[in-house]
Chain A
Amino acid sequence: MPFVTASSQRGPYDVIIVGSGAGSGQAAYTLCMEGVRVLMLEAGRRYTPATESPMFQTPDMAPLGGADTPDKNKGFYDATVDGGWDVPGQPYVSVPDQWGGHFTWWRARMLGGRTNHWGRISLRNGPYDFKPHTRDGLGFDWPITYDDVAPYYDKVELLVGVYGGDTSLENTPAGPGDTLLPPPKPIVSDHLLMKRAPRLGIPVLPGRRAVLTRAQDHRTIPGRLHPGNQRAQKILAEAMKKRSPCLWATPCGRGCAVAANYQSTTVHIPPALATGNLDIITDAMVYEVTMGKNGRANGVRFVDAKTGKHEHVTGRAVVLGASAYETVRILLNSKSGPFPNGLANSSGLVGRYILDTVGSSVSAQIPLLESLPPLNDDAADGLQVYVPWWLYKENLSHKLPFPRGYHIEYGGGRQMPSAGTFAGLEWLTGGSYGKKFKEDARRYYGSFVYYDGRGAMVPNDKSYVEIDPKVKDKFGIPVLRIHWQWGDYEQRQAVHMQQTFGELAEAMGGRVTSPIVTDPLRAVAPGGYMIHEVGGTIMGADARSSVTNRWSQTWDVPNLFVADGGVFPYNADKNPTLTIMALSWRMSDHILERMRRRDI
C-alpha cells in the first residue's frame, strides 16, 4: 500500500519530496523510474481523478447553477478542492505597496495540487527568456540557456503529451519536430481571428496545451525517454496505454477521469507508484527542513492535518516542491544555529523577487458570429489557436514603452450555457423581455469572444514574501506576509494589451463589451490573479545573488533542492508549468548523478 502514514512508512527513503504538483510529480517520476526510494508529502487529501472528476455534469445538477462562491472560487465543478484564494484555517497576510495591490494566492490542498485544475497551456520559454538581462539590461539572466533546457522540454512534451504546431517565429521554439501532438481543428471564431489578425500584423499560431489529441505512441516514446531502462520503459508503456485520447468534451479544469490531459495525479504519480519506489503521505503539512550535524538536510517535520500530531521523516536528500511561496515559507520557518534567518538563506534572498504574470482581458461581441447554426465548439477545451508575442524588435529598439512581451490567449464559441451566459445583455437587447428575449438569446449565443493577455514581469524589489511576525495558521505555523507591486513596465504593457484587444475586436467587426482601460493600475490584474507565481528561491550564477544554482540545488545545503517555480529568476510571458516540469526533470537527473557519485 503506497499511501502510508508516519507510523506505517517504509523507510529509509533516499529522497523526501514536499508537494505533489507539477514539479514534485515530475521529480518523483524521474527519481522512482531510476530506482530511487521516494517519500512524497502532500498537505491536502488524497484525490482520485478517475472517480472524482465531474466531467459531464451540467450546471443544473449543481447548487447555484455551478456559479463561483467563496467555497469554490472558480465554480462548483472546478477540480480544486480544499483550496482557492482562501483556505480555511490557513490564512496569509497581504500588504500592497500601491493602490489596489493586494496579492491573492491560490492554493490547492489536494494530491496533485493545482495541476488538477490548471489551464494546460504549455509554452516553452525561448532563448531570449533565459537571458533577458543580456538582451535589454533589466532583471536577471538565468544561469542556464535555452539549449540546456530544450532536451527536457522535449522529454516533458513526450511524457505528458502536448499538442501544438511547429513554428519558426522568433523566440517561440518547438522541439525537433515530433514532440508535439496535432493541434485541434479551429472553430468558426478561430477562423475569424486567423483571417483578420494578420491585417494588423498579428500572427496566429496553433495553441499548445497538455491534452492528448490522439493516443500517445507507447511503443517508441518509453524507449526514447528511458534508454537502457527496460523496467521504466515497460511501466511507462503501460501507463500510456491507460490514458485515453481527448473525448472532445468537458472542461479540463474539472479534472479528467480518462487522463486525456496532464495532471500530476494521472500522468506523473501513477507510473511512479507502479515502480514500487514511491510512498505518499497525504494530509502532511510540512513546516520545517531538519538539518544533520554535517550541514546537510536530513528530513522534514510536518503536522498531520487529521490528528494534529507532529511527525519527522528522514531521507538522504530533500526536494521542496510545495509551490513557490510555500517553499519559501518552509525555508524561512526552518531556523537553526547556522541559519538564523531561515534555511539556505545566506544570501538573504529567500522570498525575494517574487513574480506573477501580467494579465489583462477584453471580451467582444461579434455580429458575424450571431445566429450561427448548431455547432459543437467544445474542441479540446479551448486554445485551438493563440497569438505569440510578435514585437520583439520593437521591444529592443524601445519603440514600445515596455521591454518585454505578452501572448494572447483567445477563445469563443457556443459553450455550454452557464448561470451567467445571458446576464447583462441590455446593451445589445435594449432590455428585451418575453419572446423577444428568447429570440435575442438565440441570436447572441456564441457571438462573444475573449482576448486574455499574458505578459512578462520584470523582477522588482517591492515584491517579496516574508514570515508574518504575528499570524499563525491553525497548525501553529507562522504564515506568509506578501508584499506586492507592479512596475511601470507591467502596467504599460497591460494598457498595450487593452488597446491591442480593442483593435482586434474592431478588425473582427465586433464591439468590446466594456470600455478599453487606459488607467495602468486598472488595466493590470492584481498580483497572483494569474496563478503563475514564481520566484522567491531564484537560481543564479553565484551564492551571493541567488538561492539556488543551475541545478535547482540550494547553494547553502548541497542535498536540498527546489522543484517548483521558486527557482525562476524571471517570468516570461510563457505559462510556467511546462518549464517547471522541464527544470524538475533536469534537477532530478542531477540528483541521480550525484547519488551515483555518492555525493548524496
Chain B
Amino acid sequence: MTDRRTTLKLVIAAAAAMPALRARANYRDNLEPGASEPGDVRRFEPTIHGYGPDPDLIKAYEKGAFWPLTMNAGQRQLAAALCDLIIPADEHSPSASAVGAVDFIDEWISAPYPKQREDRDTVLNGFVWLDGEARRRFEQPFAKLHEAQQRTICDRICDASRAAADLRGPAQFFAAYRNLTAAGFYTTLAGRKDLQYIGNVALTHFDGAPVELLRKLGLA
C-alpha cells in the first residue's frame, strides 16, 4: 500500500512528534505511545472530532476554517518575531511570517487533535519562557529585542543535543517551533520556489534523470 509520499510522511510524523530525535526510531514509537502488553484489550474507536472523516478535499481553506485561531496579540507578535528569526527574508524568498507562517502555527496549536494539543503546550510554554528570558536579560519582551539579543538567547537552545541540562525543555520547544515554522514556510508557493521545486505540473512525457547530471555524479 505504501507509496513514497506516505512513507516520507510517516518519517515526518515521527520527526514532528519527537522534534529532538532523528526521524523515526521505529514503528511502535509512532503508532503506540504506550506499548501494549499481551492480553491488553483495546477497542479501536475514534474519540476526537475535528474536520471529520469526509471533508471537501477540493476547496482551498483559509487558516482557521475548521476551528478558531486562539493566539492573542502578544503571542502573535512573539510568534512572528521567532518565525522570522528562524526563516528571515533573503535574496531568494520572503520571511516566514510574510507568507503566513504565524497563521499556520496558530491554526496548528489551536487544532483539536492530540498531537497538536501537545504542541500547543510546548509552544505556549516556550513563549512564556522566551519572554521571561528576554525580560530577565534585556528588560524587554522577546519581540522587541534586536536580532543580536534574540540570538544570544536562541543560540543556547537551538540544538537540543548541545543544550545545557536546565535548558532541555526550552531547546525542545525551539526544535518544535523551528519544525512548525519550516512547515508553515515550505508548504507555500514562496517556500516551493525557494527550493526550486518544479513538480506538480501535468506533463505529456517524463524524461527521468538528465544524462549530463548522471555523468557529473558518476552514475551514468
Contacts and interface: CB of A to CB of B under 8 A. Distances in A.
Nearest to A411: B4
Contacts of B35: 99-100
Contact of A249 (B4, B100, B162, B200): B200
B145 interface: no
Interface in B159-214: 159-162, 175, 178-179, 182-184, 186-189, 191-192, 194-203, 205-210, 213-214
A463 to B, nearest CB: 14
Nearest to B99: A60
A352 interface: no
Contact of A96 (B21, B39, B182): B39
Contact of A56 (B1, B11, B90, B200): B200
A592 interface: no
Given A96-B36, A450-B7, A188 B199 contact: no
Contacts of B50: 63, 69-71
**Most chain B beta-carbon neighbours within 10 Å: one of A74, A76, A411, A514:** A514
Interface residues of B, number: 112
Interface stretch (B73-81, B104-112, B127-135, B136-144): B104-112
B182 to A, nearest CB: 4
Give the contact-size bracket for chain A: 35 or more
B3 A252 contact: yes
B206 A248 contact: yes
A86 B44 CA distance: 6
Given A375-B209, A423-B16, A250 B23 contact: no
B187 A575 contact: no
Given A93-B44, A423-B179, A514-B25, A120 B159 contact: no
Given A71-B53, A249-B203, A412-B4, A424 B16 contact: yes
A91 B48 contact: no
A59 B219 CA distance: 33
Contacts of B191: 417
Contacts of B196: 373-374, 442
A589 interface: no
B72 interface: no
B37 to A, nearest CB: 6
A471 B15 contact: no
Given A414-B199, A423-B15, A513-B23, A450 B8 contact: yes
Contacts, number: 388
Interface string A87-131: 111111111111111101100000000100111110000000000
B124 interface: no
Given A60-B187, A423-B15, A74 B27 contact: no
A434 B6 contact: no
By CB atoms of chain B within 10 A, which of A63, A65, A72, A93 has the most? A63
A279 interface: no
Interface string B1-27: 111111111111101101111111111
16 contacts: A60-B189, A65-B183, A71-B51, A82-B54, A94-B42, A95-B39, A120-B3, A191-B209, A249-B200, A418-B12, A426-B161, A435-B90, A517-B26, A525-B27, A526-B28, A526-B32
Given A60-B189, A424-B16, 5 more contacts: A61-B60, A191-B217, A248-B202, A253-B6, A384-B208
Interface of A: 45, 51-54, 56-72, 74-77, 81-102, 104-105, 114, 117-121, 184-188, 190-192, 195, 246-254, 359-361, 363, 368, 372-384, 409, 411-424, 426-427, 430-435, 437-438, 441-442, 445, 448, 450, 452, 454, 471, 513-515, 517, 521-526, 529-532, 575
A-B pairs, 10 with minimum CB distance = A420-B12, A185-B208, A431-B159, A411-B4, A424-B15, A91-B45, A382-B4, A422-B182, A513-B23, A61-B60
